[in-house]
């Protein structure tokens, strides 16, 4: 099948592209930069959807960009880079004379209110309560297809936790301090830490891109893109230290995180949610890395 990947040049997109090409699929990336195997967002808007059987959007300004201060312009970019690209793709799908059979948006678990006790499945009700949950609400809304198109195009929303892999995401920034023995828990450490190995997230996306087995539904199917293991930040920290054979004795207090990162953003590290991938498991998806030890050993050993 021909797959269109918005933001496919990034951390998750590179892994997904590798997986899809290995399965014999053809990939076209939508990017801000032209290049081989790519179209630009401007071309998508001016020329419409290129021929494809499925599409996914992964584009978005990095939430953990270490080079940017947490200010209004950064927040505006976080919103517009996700919502405008998702809207551009959903509009192009709606306007296409041969829309794809599946359309997948990868959003995030920030929609679920951080809690030490609540457990969230894909069926959990939620209403926006802070900046990042508002972002998820608007982002997912911008992916919705008109009912007439949703009859033939399967809509899926995947909400990943922190994506763990060697080449990007949180691990890229964490590995050096942990290697140097400077790692430690963030905030209290007791907060849940929903995570997924990048290879499993690519697998869940690839499965969602396949044609629907059942009749299409007007509302998107939601899948929590997290590993089934429920871990805390303390467990993650200790396991990473153990796998690297390094001490993890330098906790970073919550107020330091808030000062360095801005409290609206630090919340993804200093607080967390227990997220259960109920529908993902029910879909029959087989995780390669269901627990922290296997995931971290693969990442650190590779």
Binding status of residue 73 toward ligand NDP by CB under 6 A? no
> Which residues are registered as beta bridge partners of 104?
56, 156
- Pick between residue 226 and residue 243 the one whose CB is nearest to ligand NDP: 226
Residue of 2, 25, 50, 62 interacting with ligand NDP (CB under 6 A): 62
Binding status of residue 32 toward ligand NDP by CB under 6 A? yes
Cα–Cα distance, 34 to 292 (Å, whole number): 38
- Pick between residue 60 and residue 187 the one whose CB is nearest to ligand NDP: 60
- Pick between residue 97 and residue 157 the one whose CB is nearest to ligand NDP: 157
- Pick between residue 243 and residue 268 the one whose CB is nearest to ligand NDP: 268
- Pick between residue 171 and residue 252 the one whose CB is nearest to ligand NDP: 171
The angle subtended at Cα 203 by Cα 225 and Cα 86, nearest 5°, is 60
Binding status of residue 280 toward ligand NDP by CB under 6 A? no
- What is the number of the residue whose Cβ is closest to ligand NDP? 10
**Both tokens assigned to 294:** 């296997």
Residue of 3, 4, 5, 7 interacting with ligand NDP (CB under 6 A): 7
**Both tokens assigned to 92:** 């192009």
Residue of 81, 96, 188, 207 interacting with ligand NDP (CB under 6 A): 81
Cα–Cα distance, 160 to 104 (Å, whole number): 13
Binding status of residue 13 toward ligand NDP by CB under 6 A? yes
Closest CA to 30 of 52, 12, 57, 53: 57
Least distance from ligand NDP to the Cβ atom of residue 201, Å? 8
Binding status of residue 58 toward ligand NDP by CB under 6 A? yes
- Pick between residue 2 and residue 68 the one whose CB is nearest to ligand NDP: 68
- Pick between residue 41 and residue 216 the one whose CB is nearest to ligand NDP: 41
> Which residues are registered as beta bridge partners of 164?
197
Tracing tokens 């893109």 back to the chain, one arrives at: 225
Query: How many other C-beta atoms can be found within 10 angstroms of the C-beta atom of residue 46?
Result: 8
Binding status of residue 11 toward ligand NDP by CB under 6 A? yes
Query: How many other C-beta atoms can be found within 10 angstroms of the C-beta atom of residue 237?
Result: 22
2-6/154-160 β-pairing: unpaired
Binding mask 143-182 for ligand NDP (x = CB under 6 A): -----------------x-xx----xxx------------
The angle subtended at Cα 29 by Cα 72 and Cα 200, nearest 5°, is 85
Binding status of residue 114 toward ligand NDP by CB under 6 A? no
The angle subtended at Cα 117 by Cα 113 and Cα 123, nearest 5°, is 55
- DSSP-derived letter for residue 181 is T
21 sits in which H/E element: helix 11-22
Least distance from ligand NDP to the Cβ atom of residue 38, Å? 7
Binding status of residue 10 toward ligand NDP by CB under 6 A? yes
CA 161 to chain centre: 7
Number of residues that bind ligand NDP (CB under 6 A): 26
Cα–Cα distance, 108 to 224 (Å, whole number): 8
Cα–Cα distance, 203 to 181 (Å, whole number): 33
- Pick between residue 71 and residue 97 the one whose CB is nearest to ligand NDP: 71
Task: List residues near ligand NDP by CB under 6 A.
Answer: 7, 9-13, 31-33, 58-62, 77, 81-82, 85, 106, 108, 160, 162-163, 168-170
């Amino acid at each position: 099948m021909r797959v269109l990947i918005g933001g496919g040049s990034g951390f998750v997109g590179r892994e997904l592209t590798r997986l899809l090409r290995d399965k014999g699929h053809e990939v076209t990336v939508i990017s801000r930069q032209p290049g081989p195997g790519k179209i630009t967002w401007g071309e998508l808007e001016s020329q419409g959807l290129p021929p494809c059987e499925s599409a996914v959007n992964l584009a978005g300004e990095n939430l953990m960009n270490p080079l940017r201060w947490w200010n209004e312009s950064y927040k505006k970019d976080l919103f517009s880079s996700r919502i405008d690209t998702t809207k551009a793709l959903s509009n192009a799908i709606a306007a296409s004379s041969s829309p794809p059979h599946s359309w997948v948006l990868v959003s995030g678990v920030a929609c679920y209110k951080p809690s030490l006790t609540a457990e969230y499945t894909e069926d959990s009700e939620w209403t926006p309560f802070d900046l990042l949950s508002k972002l998820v609400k608007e982002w997912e809304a911008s992916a919705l297809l008109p009912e007439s198109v949703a009859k033939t195009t399967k809509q899926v929303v995947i909400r990943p936790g922190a994506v763990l892999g060697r080449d990007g995401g949180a691990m890229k920034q964490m590995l050096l301090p942990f290697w140097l023995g400077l790692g430690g828990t963030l905030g209290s450490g007791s907060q849940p830490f929903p995570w997924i190995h990048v290879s499993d997230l690519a697998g869940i996306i690839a499965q969602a891109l396949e044609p629907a087995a059942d009749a299409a539904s007007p509302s998107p199917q939601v899948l929590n893109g997290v590993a089934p293991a429920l871990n805390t930040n303390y467990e993650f920290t200790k396991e990473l230290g153990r796998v690297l054979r390094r001490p993890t004795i330098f906790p970073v207090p919550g107020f330091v995180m808030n000062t360095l990162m801005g409290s609206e953003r630090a919340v993804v590290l200093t607080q967390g949610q227990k997220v259960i991938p109920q529908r993902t498991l029910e879909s029959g998806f087989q995780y390669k890395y269901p627990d922290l030890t296997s995931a971290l050993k693969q990442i650190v050993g590779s």
